Amino acid sequence: GGLVDAGFDVLTLANNHAGDYGRPALVETVRAVASSGIEPLGAGAHRGEAWRPVVLERAGIRVGFLAFNAIGETWRAGSRSAGAASLRMDPRTGPLDPVELRSVANRVRRLADRTDVTIVLPHWGDQYTHEPVPDQRLVGARLLEAGATVVVGGHPHWVQDVQRHKSRFVVHSLGNFVFDMDFMRETQEGFILDLTFREGDLVDAQPTPYVIGPDFAPRLVTGAEARAILDDIDGVDLLP
């Protein structure tokens, strides 16, 4: 399929539309992704499966992934019911639940203890704005403190700025990627995050801007188009 051909290894399903066609369809989607050879993440037939991290080894580096949905709409995975890994937080499912946040931080900590690189993928935030809500900054900081190397968010449909913490950072939103939102410039912009690791250390992080064309597929941009997107994420220097 297209995602396999494009080189995807991991696919997060922790989002507010994963359950649009019902629980059986959600589970079928998880199984279809797994059978394709791509590792599904963030949703499953029960809470344990939804929160199960993915660990891949590439060039001797163990990379761990964990994902959750904070927007709602898709059911919260239960002990015996399908859904997404979920965290209650503003703006959609708040107020922020400190017990749940502590649980997520503990999951990140345990994953970081057995991997060289830990990437957390939250589905969060407010739509159609470049500015993260306060809960994103608070939760992002907690995830980094718990051991996340990088936190990479989605949902706002616009790119959002970068939050730095020592040699680690939170990208609050990459923007849309393959999407049919052609009613404003910002919903047609995004960037690919290229990360380079050496022996488990993050040594380079480069945003590669793109614009979604009339065929709803992204195309890389340069010059003024690229600068406009990079300005919205606070520049090109992601690492301190």
Angle, CA 124 vertex, CA 130 and CA 233 arms, to 5°: 25
Where are the strands (E) in the chain, listed by range? 10-12, 39-41, 43-44, 54-58, 61-69, 83-84, 117-123, 150-152, 159-165, 168-174, 189-198, 201-212, 218-220
Question: How far, in Å, CA of 209 to CA of 225, rounded?
Answer: 8
Q: CB–CB of 143/104 below 8 Å?
A: yes
Question: How far, in Å, CA of 234 to CA of 49, rounded?
Answer: 36
Decide if 154 is inside a domain. yes
Decide if 219 is inside a domain. no
Beta bridge partners of 116: none
Count of the separate structural domains present in the chain? 1
Following DSSP, what letter does each residue of 149-170 receive, concatenated? SEEE-B-SSSEEEEEEETTEEE
What is the per-residue pLDDT for 240? 58
Range of the domain at 10: 2-189
What is the per-residue pLDDT for 65? 99
Decide if 203 is inside a domain. no
Decide if 222 is inside a domain. no
Decide if 221 is inside a domain. no
Decide if 209 is inside a domain. no
Beta bridge partners of 160: 173
Indicate the pTM of the whole model. 0.96
Per-residue tokens: 127:
């739509």
Residue 8: which of 62, 56, 61 has the closest Cα?
A: 56
What is the per-residue pLDDT for 1? 76
Taking all residues of the chain, what is their mean pLDDT, rounded to a whole number? 95
Would the pLDDT of 167 be above 90?
Answer: no
Give me the mean pLDDT over the 3-10 stretch: 94
What is the per-residue pLDDT for 237? 66
* CB environment 153-172: b (16+ within 10 A), e (fewer): bbbbbbbbbbbeeeebbbbb
Give me the mean pLDDT over the 24-48 stretch: 98
Decide if 206 is inside a domain. no
107-140, pLDDT tens digit by residue? 999 999 999 999 999 999 999 999 999 999 999 9
Decide if 78 is inside a domain. yes
Give me the mean pLDDT over the 94-100 stretch: 98
CATH number of the CATH domain containing 142: 3.60.21.10
